Amino acid sequence: MVAILERINELLFAAVLIVSFSLLAYIVLQNWRSDIVRSLGVLLAGVIIAYSGDLLLARAQRPATIEFLGRAQWLGIVLVPAGYIHFANALLAFGSANTIAQRWRRSVYAAYIGSLAIFLLVVLGTNLVIYTGSPSGPVARFNAGPLFWFYVLFFGLAIASALIAILIVRRSALTPAQRRRLSYLGATFAAPGIGVFPFLLIASPNVIPLTLILALQAVASLIVIVMLTVMTYSVAFQGMLIPERLIKQDFVRWWLYGPFVGITTILFIQAVPVIAQYLGLPPETLITFGVMVMTVLMPIFVTQAKPYLDALIYRQDHSEIDYLRNLPRNMFTRADLRALLENSLVAICSALHVKTGFVVAPGEDGFSVKAVWGSRRDVRRFVTDHPVMSILPQLESMPYDAAASLDSGSFVVIDDFCLFPLRSPDGIFLGAIGLEATLDQLRRNGGMSADMRRMVTGLAHQIELALTTVQMQRQIFDALRELAPEMQSLQQLSSRLEQATPLTLSNLDDDIVLHPDFPQLVKDALTQLWGGPKLAESPLLGLRSVRRILAEQGGSPTRALQAVLRQAIANLRPDEQIDPSAQEWLLYNLLEGRFLRRQTVRDVAHRLAMSESDFYRKQRIAIEEVARQIVLMEEHEYENSSGRR
């Protein structure tokens, strides 16, 4: 029985270690600027060190190794009470008791200094805190020294301070969601303490049965795993301005790919010797096959489990999220459009026995040739002699009859090409199909027969449907881009209200990035970037990023705002490896020419080869991108200020 409990404890020690390390790595990557998260990181680090020592001590045999590991793991044991005091101070600073937190700040430094002093007494080999006892079975390693009870008092005060801070902050919480998270925290905050406190220095194996001690250790490890997970979820995202549904989704996904996969792998590796002995095979052989199976099955299992977990997380929003998840598969993208145009053009040219053809369709930069079949040289020569924009009016002016079939009157003949206009169901001009053939050649090739006209008309209608669909999608995406600042502002406002305290609520109205007209304020400031009443009186002067660099700009709010606007534009500069004709470069060059170089609309539009109407449409998108960059800069400032608290 003792051997089985020992093996179970080893597995659970490894599980706690994996969960703690995964949670620590996650919060470090996600929200390390928050002081609450940094203190939580100290607690998790203490658990990792302590359980690493337990895991190694379970297999150690040499007395010198046992002595070293038993003393070294006290780094984690003494870190936890200091982390609790740090955690309490960070919670009070976040909540309404900021004055109390300032008074307690010195206690945080004192706690870390005291922890270091206790650790030094332990590792220097003194008998003041612990001393080597007589081993009695697999758990008794050390006995308590005279100063151990000072550590117990220190530990109790740290736990009490964390609990008091949680109660104070929960009492001042304004929203049900914030109170719910703090309730979770109050129920689970003791997990690091349960995991690292050296109970065996108090409860001797000579008094309590060994099997009971090992069983209690196993139960404690299971409790620690659950409580650490809930505790981390309760506070790890404090101050992050993202919706709770995204927090839950990211957290669950990380738990699946981190702790779950790690624990499953450890369980399998530990089970290999038992299975190998039962089957009479070498353990190395089973490990080879097992790793092969695990690397294939675990990703499949996680992928299959994610939709069910998402359904539990989103619940009321499940239908919308499920539709958005499948949207990329249902979209008709530009790559799909190009493939359809090329395939349809090949079918039309092959049916009409035409060697060369092309399709003209609209894009972000106006009408252009989107697909070519046959001789590209002939198409290039035709487009050079007859620019696309010059022949489109003639095609667009042709009479339209949705019920009419293809005939000789449906084409416009220019040089050696016959052009057939493409229109949407409501008659809007969409582009054209060009075929290198005369009308007589089409008649001789059978292109004017009834069956052939039906087939070509059907293929042309498919192209028209695809172009119409892509245009509708582009309009939807443009609308979503226009709504993006408002949606982002609403998400940030919802997150801040959810995490609101009396201190933060009083400053909420001053956050200009949450205002619905924030993009318009950015536009007004950009139009007078070089000076003017709209810049000197702009509400953007209250931005955190502006206040931060105020001293660097000689105390001038106007110059500070100008610097922030220039930085926001500079942040939009694409990488040099990106194609110069890409949308990113177009927007950046528009902003640079119009606002940084103070060029006229006509000059910038001419340099970028676009019409003035297209310029204004692109300028609106570019200004929204500048506003989005300023929002990101403000989020960075907010997170830094939250971290300093």
Query: Coil, strand or helix: which one is 431?
Result: strand
| CATH number for the domain running over 334-472 | 3.30.450.40
Scan for tokens 């209690």, then name that residue.
Answer: 216
- For residue 95 the two structure tokens come to 């909540």
Amino acid letter, residue 474:
R
**97 Cβ partners below 8 Å, 6+ apart?**
165, 168, 169, 172
Angle among Cα 18, 22, 23 to the nearest 5 degrees reads: 120
Amino acid letter, residue 215:
A
Look at residue 161 in the predicted model and tell me its pLDDT. Answer: 92
Query: Coil, strand or helix: which one is 136?
Result: strand
Look at residue 348 in the predicted model and tell me its pLDDT. Answer: 84
- For residue 170 the two structure tokens come to 């929960």
Q: What is the pTM for the complete model shown?
A: 0.60
Can you point out the beta strands (E) in 415-565?
417-423, 429-435
Query: Coil, strand or helix: which one is 354?
Result: coil
Listed by start position, the domains of the chain span 2-240, 242-327, 334-472, 500-644
Q: How far is CA 272 from CA 1, 6, 384, in A?
A: 20, 17, 72
Look at residue 550 in the predicted model and tell me its pLDDT. Answer: 78
Query: Coil, strand or helix: which one is 581?
Result: coil
Cα 481 to Cα 189: distance, rounded to the nearest angstrom: 42
Q: How far is CA 628 from CA 33, 214, 482, 489, 514, in A?
A: 21, 56, 11, 10, 12
Strand order through the sheet with 417-423 = 366-373, 357-363, 429-435, 417-423, 412-414
**233 Cβ partners below 8 Å, 6+ apart?**
184, 247, 251
**495 Cβ partners below 8 Å, 6+ apart?**
240, 241, 242, 243, 244
**Closest alpha carbon to 501 in 30, 179, 90, 101:** 179
Whether residue 351 contacts residue 358, with contact meaning beta carbons closer than 8 Å, is answered with no
CB atoms within 10 A of CB 410: 19
Amino acid letter, residue 357:
G
Show the low-confidence residues of the chain (pLDDT under 50).
Answer: 97, 136-137, 509, 643-645
* SS percent in the chain: helix, strand, coil, step 5: 70, 5, 20
Burial track 624-641 (b if 16+ CB lie within 10 A, e otherwise): bbbbbbbbebbbebbbee
CB atoms within 10 A of CB 45: 19
Cα 148 to Cα 74: distance, rounded to the nearest angstrom: 12
Cα 273 to Cα 285: distance, rounded to the nearest angstrom: 11
Query: Coil, strand or helix: which one is 560?
Result: helix
Domain 2-240: give its CATH superfamily.
Rhodopsin 7-helix transmembrane proteins (1.20.1070.10)
- For residue 139 the two structure tokens come to 């758990």
- For residue 597 the two structure tokens come to 């170089």
Cα 182 to Cα 36: distance, rounded to the nearest angstrom: 13
Scan for tokens 């026995």, then name that residue.
Answer: 353
Cα 565 to Cα 567: distance, rounded to the nearest angstrom: 5
Cα 370 to Cα 359: distance, rounded to the nearest angstrom: 6
Look at residue 162 in the predicted model and tell me its pLDDT. Answer: 92
Query: Coil, strand or helix: which one is 363?
Result: strand
Look at residue 302 in the predicted model and tell me its pLDDT. Answer: 75
- For residue 480 the two structure tokens come to 């979503």
CA 382 to chain centre: 48
Residues in a beta bridge with 366: 363
**65 Cβ partners below 8 Å, 6+ apart?**
none
